[in-house]
Amino acid sequence: MSTGNKGAVGEATQQYIDLMAAFSKAAATLDETSGVVMSFIMSRHSSPLKPPRSSRLVWP
């Protein structure tokens, strides 16, 4: 009985560890992405008078 219980606890612990690892990886990816987005926005704001090329297609 105790062996089965220990296995369940071990499995739950492993799932928790996997979840934390995935969360940590996602957080790092999100941080990296937000850094890229911020630098893109900042580069756009450096020349506010020049519209993005794509806007010409959206706004005729």
Phi-psi category of residue 23: left, alpha or beta, with phi > 0 → left and psi -120 to 50 → alpha? alpha
Domain ranges of the chain: 2-45
pLDDT at 47: 55
| Cα separation of the two ends of the chain | 73
Q: Which two tokens stand for residue 7?
A: 């296995």
Per-residue pLDDT of the chain (60 residues; tens, 9 = 90+): 555 677 888 999 999 999 999 999 998 898 888 888 888 877 766 655 555 555 555 555
Q: Which two tokens stand for residue 27?
A: 């957080």
